[in-house]
């Protein structure tokens, strides 16, 4: 199509220097690479450009390229980078190319590249390539999985009441507090998933006499798996398992013959099962004269709790050699083009503080090189206050003066922190923490304190934190669901029909109904064609709103009215759910719950009524709605999926977990290193300076004895330290211009300070950054 020099010229034309990417944009399709890429070095771009090079220079068919990443947002990002760059290069070539080239170019359909998460691709492929006449697998999410484990695994034979099982859970989780059936179910399901990811022999695990509760847990897991198999459903772990089985059995031969190039991003978060899948795909690719390129950074591995095993990445060259017989070329991407010198230096220093941590990194990993052009020179900032409230207050002032005002002067310097004159906005500021939760058990947390204060400014700043709140506690959601309850169950009879309705759910329903009552009393717009009170009254009486035209017979109430339809009718009075980005995310969650409910129940998530329906039947449909829609929403079983939004909202300050922020970058990043650590308390030690191995590592240790991977080489507590270092490494490498650490004074007291890995403590208890003199305090 085009020559290699032409391609490289096009890259330079797009201000991309091909030199650091080296073999990735030079090698032919049959090359294999192991790319070790630090933060900000453009690894996603590197993958996108490799794909483009293969298509444009080597005329590889886009449909034969398979690119995977780990999160859905990252997958969308890979896709959009490929398409965007493809479009730019195509435009440029079309402008000067020959007629023949133009013809060939226009025939390339870049959209046919397969991109996605491994799970989404597995699902797509198993659906598209299934034998004629068979059903595609139905994939269930976390919430449904836990619910089915409870129903099919734990309630079956009363396993949830067996003392041995409860004892075992208490021993592993380290607490008996609030060990509800829901938590027990999640615990057993974690064993089930880990067992699949690590390919553990569960029978051996059950028979090893480790604990009397284990055989019961394994029985529950088998009952759960049998139930899913019988109903044609799979959870994420079973989906991957099935994908591997089908690859190995030759059922996906057609796919293997099509895929020539495999590109894997975020390889450090791969688990053993996924590794085997990639190796199968790689074998197919090699047979077709293609290859595999994996990209990752062991320092950014964050998903141990999902079975990710970092050593699979650091030992990749040897492992892929043994399994596939190839020798990938190692490529190090070390030029950080994201952050200022100060931030790159800080990040490099941080990751090298802990001597023990060196042992687990990729051998001879080079430090990041600062390559950002025209970078500013802000030092790393710190804001520490006696209480969370004072911290929130001062942080609000800082953000206000940066976003709304004329800037925030840095003490003892001439620097002023201010928003970019070219269209800077609140979206340039994000706050990262280990959890974006707005309320803890003991009251509001920093995100909520900030949300309130920023919202109360003369020029209010909105925040974007859809994961921070229980759906049930969002006022607008309460109003909407309260109205729905008033419509579908006006006499409030539903709860009486349900014998063991959880008390908490009932309380939430009462709150919703009150919120709806106040909302309705405020008589919100629009009043035409009819006010909301009239709409609700018509529903409550199951009487159609009379047609205005005279002479027409009055319409009768429908036999079954879909709940979803009712929701959309009510949205008339809720612009929040149509225009607000958080509102949209909550609406999607409600929508999803109702859709799931209609697949789950007998009545298709409808409200039955009208003269032809016997009251008992209508009651049954109502009870089903309570169980499948209102109870899960009230008890916060439903999770918001903000990945739907491909771009983050403008004009909002984002509050994200560090996990969510992985792969993203922002001008000003505030990292909450401990806004609720008032003293050296054991209860939160796991978040800053672990004292023991914790539940995740405990399960890992027990199961891995029966896995081909064998027991982990490092102690559980060491793995916890490694994980914390990685977490804050990711957080510290997000900012482009300014990094601001915030926390309580207890974290920086020269004596008896609260230990925290994020602030320069190593696991031996040495505080390398005693007193935090390396931060510029504001």
Chain residues in the site for DNA (CB under 7 A): 70-73, 117-120, 141-142, 174-175, 177-178, 236-237, 302-303, 305-306, 434-437, 440-442, 467, 641, 643, 657, 659-660, 676-684, 686-687, 692, 694-696, 752, 754
CB of 674: closest distance to DNA in angstroms?
9
Quote the CA–CA distance of 628 and 607 in Å, as a whole number.
13
Q: Cβ of 710: how many Cβ atoms within 10 Å?
A: 10
> What is the smallest separation between the CB atom of 74 and DNA, expressed in angstroms?
8
Instruction: State which residue, 173 or 739, has the beta carbon closest to DNA.
Output: 173
How distant, in Å, are the alpha carbons of 55, 135, 238, 246 from that of 132?
32, 9, 22, 15
State the nearest-atom distance from the C-beta of 486 to DNA, in Å. Answer: 32
Q: CA angle 650-69-668, nearest 5°?
A: 30
> Which positions ≥6 away from 749 have C-beta within 8 Å?
none
In the complex, least distance from residue 261 CB atom to DNA, rounded to whole angstroms: 21
Q: Which is nearer to DNA, 74 or 621 (CB)?
A: 74
Shortest separation between residue 391's beta carbon and DNA, angstroms: 13
State both tokens at 566. 């009712």
Taking residue 565's Cβ as centre, other Cβ atoms within 10 Å add up to 13
Q: What are the beta bridge partners of residue 116? A: 68
Segment 394-401 long-range contacts (CB within 8 Å, at least 24 positions apart):
395/450, 395/670, 395/742, 396/450, 396/453, 396/454, 396/457, 398/740, 398/778, 399/426, 399/429, 399/454, 399/461, 399/653, 400/454, 400/457, 400/459, 400/461
Q: Nearest approach, Cβ of 67 to DNA (angstroms)?
A: 14
CB 476 within 8 Å of CB 513 = no
**Nearest distance in Å: CB 435, DNA:** 3
Q: How far is the CB of 569 from DNA (least distance, A)?
A: 31
For residue 766 the two structure tokens come to: 């040495």
Q: Among residues 49 and 754, whose Cβ is nearest to DNA? A: 754
Encoded tokens for 743: 């926390």
Pick from 124, 72, 60, 112: nearest CA to 293:
60
- Under 8 Å CB-to-CB from 426, ≥6 apart: which residues? 399, 403, 461, 462, 651, 652, 653
Nearest approach in angstroms of CB 682 to DNA is 4
Radius of gyration of the chain (CA): 28
**The residue count for the chain:** 778
CB of 100 to DNA, least distance (A): 42
Are 706 and 201 in contact, with CB atoms under 8 Å apart? yes
| Residue 56 token pair | 């444009």
Q: Is 773 helix (H, G, I), strand (E, B) or coil?
A: coil
Q: Between residues 375 and 661, which has the closer beta carbon with respect to DNA?
A: 661
- The CA distance from 532 to 518, in Å, is 12
User: Could you please report the per-residue DSSP string of 344-389?
Assistant: HHHHHHHHTS-GGGGGGSPTTPPPPEE--TT---PPPEEEEESSHH
Minimum CB distance to DNA smaller for 236 or for 313: 236
CB-nearer residue toward DNA: 482 or 694: 694
State how far the Cα of 381 lies from the Cα of 777, in Å rounded to an integer: 6
CA nearest neighbour of 292 among 320, 257, 254, 312: 320
Cβ atoms 498, 630 nearer than 8 A = no
Residue closer to DNA, measured from CB, 81 or 372: 81
* Shortest reach from residue 374's CB to DNA, in Å: 33
Closer to DNA by CB, 20 or 307: give it: 307
What is the smallest separation between the CB atom of 101 and DNA, expressed in angstroms?
38
Is the Cβ of residue 588 or residue 604 nearer to DNA in the bound state?
A: 588
Q: Which is nearer to DNA, 124 or 128 (CB)?
A: 124
Tell the smallest beta-carbon distance from residue 695 to DNA (Å).
Answer: 5
- Based on CB atoms, which residue is closest to DNA, 117 or 736? 117
Query: What is the widest separation between alpha-carbon atoms in the chain?
Result: 88
Query: Smallest distance, Å, CB 723 to DNA?
Result: 8
Residues whose CB is less than 8 angstroms from the CB of residue 659 and which lie 6 or more positions away in sequence, other chains included: 302, 303
**Shortest distance (Å) from residue 235 CB to DNA:** 8
Closest approach, Cβ 686 to DNA, in A, equals: 5
Q: Which is nearer to DNA, 71 or 628 (CB)?
A: 71
Report the residue number, 467 or 763, with the smaller CB distance to DNA. Answer: 467
Secondary structure class of 415 (helix, strand, coil): coil
Nearer to DNA, 236 or 350 (CB): 236
Neighbouring CB atoms inside 10 A of 559's CB total 13
Q: Which is nearer to DNA, 46 or 302 (CB)?
A: 302
Task: Pick the closer one to DNA by CB: 538 or 648.
Answer: 648
Distance between CA atoms of residues 727 and 734, nearest Å: 11
Angstrom distance (rounded) from CA 85 to CA 61: 17
Nearer to DNA, 234 or 633 (CB): 234
In angstroms, give the least distance from the CB of 169 to DNA. 13
Query: Reduced to 3 DSSP states, what percent helix, strand and coil does the chain have, rounded to the nearest 5?
Result: 55, 10, 35
């Amino acid at each position: 199509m085009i020559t290699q020099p032409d391609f490289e010229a096009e890259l330079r034309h797009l201000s991309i220097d091909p030199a650091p990417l080296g073999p990735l944009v030079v090698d032919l399709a049959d090359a294999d690479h192991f790319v070790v890429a630090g933060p900000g070095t453009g690894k996603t771009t590197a993958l996108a450009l490799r794909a483009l090079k293969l298509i444009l220079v080597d005329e590889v068919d886009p449909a034969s390229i398979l690119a995977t990443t780990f999160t859905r947002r990252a997958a969308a990002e890979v896709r959009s980078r490929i398409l965007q760059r493809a479009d730019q290069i195509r435009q440029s070539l079309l402008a000067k190319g020959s007629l023949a080239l133009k013809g060939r170019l226009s025939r390339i359909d870049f959209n046919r590249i397969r991109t996605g998460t491994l799970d989404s691709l597995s699902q797509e492929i198993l659906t598209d390539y299934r034998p004629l006449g068979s059903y595609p697998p139905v994939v269930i999410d976390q919430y449904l999985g836990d619910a089915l484990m409870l129903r099919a695994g734990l309630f079956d034979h009363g396993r949830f009441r067996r003392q041995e099982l409860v004892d075992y859970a208490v021993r592993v989780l380290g607490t008996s507090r609030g060990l509800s059936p829901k938590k027990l179910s999640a615990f057993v399901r974690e064993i089930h998933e880990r067992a699949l990811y690590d390919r553990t022999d569960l029978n051996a695990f059950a028979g090893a006499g480790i604990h009397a509760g284990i055989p019961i847990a394994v029985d529950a897991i088998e009952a759960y798996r049998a139930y899913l198999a019988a109903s044609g459903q799979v959870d994420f772990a079973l989906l991957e398992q099935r994908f591997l089985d089908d690859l190995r059995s030759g059922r996906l031969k057609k796919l293997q013959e099509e895929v020539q190039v495999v590109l894997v991003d975020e390889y450090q978060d791969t688990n053993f099962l996924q590794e085997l899948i990639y190796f199968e795909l790689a074998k197919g690719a090699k047979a077709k004269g293609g290859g595999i390129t994996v990209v990752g950074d062991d320092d950014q591995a964050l998903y141990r709790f999902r079975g990710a095993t970092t050593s699979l990445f650091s030992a990749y060259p040897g492992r892929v050699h043994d399994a596939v017989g190839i020798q990938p070329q190692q490529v190090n991407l070390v030029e950080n083009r994201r952050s200022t010198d100060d931030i790159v230096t800080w990040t490099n220093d941080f990751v090298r503080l802990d001597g023990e941590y060196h042992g687990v990194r990729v051998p001879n990993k080079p430090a990041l090189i600062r390559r950002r052009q025209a970078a500013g020179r802000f030092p790393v900032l710190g804001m520490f206050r006696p209480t969370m409230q004072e911290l929130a207050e001062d942080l609000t002032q800082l953000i206000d003066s940066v976003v709304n005002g004329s800037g925030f002067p840095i003490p003892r310097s001439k620097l002023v922190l201010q928003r970019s004159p070219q269209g800077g906005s609140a979206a340039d500021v994000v706050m990262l923490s280990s959890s974006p939760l707005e309320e803890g058990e003991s009251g509001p947390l920093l995100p909520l304190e900030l949300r309130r204060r920023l919202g109360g400014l003369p020029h209010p700043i909105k925040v974007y934190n859809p994961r921070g709140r229980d759906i049930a506690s969002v006022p607008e959601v309460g109003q909407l669901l309260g109205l729905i309850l008033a419509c579908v169950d006006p006499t409030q009879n539903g709860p009486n029909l349900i014998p063991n309705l959880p008390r908490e759910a009932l309380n939430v329903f009462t709150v919703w109904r009150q919120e709806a009552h106040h909302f309705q009393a405020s008589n919100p717009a629009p009043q035409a064609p009819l006010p909301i009170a009239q709409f609700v009254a018509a529903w409550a009486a199951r009487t159609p709103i009379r047609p205005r035209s005279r002479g027409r017979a009055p319409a009768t109430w429908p036999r079954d009215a879909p709940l979803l339809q009712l929701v959309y009718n009510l949205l008339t009075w809720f612009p929040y759910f149509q225009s607000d980005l958080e509102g949209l995310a909550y609406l999607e969650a409600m929508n999803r719950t109702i859709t799931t409910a209609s697949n789950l129940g007998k009545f298709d998530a409808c409200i039955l009524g009208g003269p032809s329906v016997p009251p008992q039947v209508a009651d049954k449909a109502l009870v089903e709605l309570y169980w499948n829609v209102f109870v899960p929403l009230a008890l916060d079983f439903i999770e918001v999926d903000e990945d739907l939004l491909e771009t983050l909202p403008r004009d909002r300050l984002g509050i994200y977990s560090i996990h969510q922020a992985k792969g993203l970058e922002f001008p000003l990043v505030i990292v909450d290193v401990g806004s609720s650590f008032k003293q050296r308390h054991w209860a939160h030690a796991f978040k800053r300076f672990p004292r023991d191995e914790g539940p995740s590592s405990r399960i890992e240790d027990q199961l891995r004895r029966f896995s081909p991977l064998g027991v982990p080489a490092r102690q559980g507590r060491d793995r916890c330290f490694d994980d914390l270092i990685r977490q804050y490494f990711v957080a510290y490498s997000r900012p482009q211009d300014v990094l601001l650490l915030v926390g309580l004074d207890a974290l920086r007291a020269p004596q008896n300070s609260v230990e925290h890995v994020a602030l320069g403590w190593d696991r031996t208890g040495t505080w390398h950054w005693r007193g935090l003199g390396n931060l510029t305090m504001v």
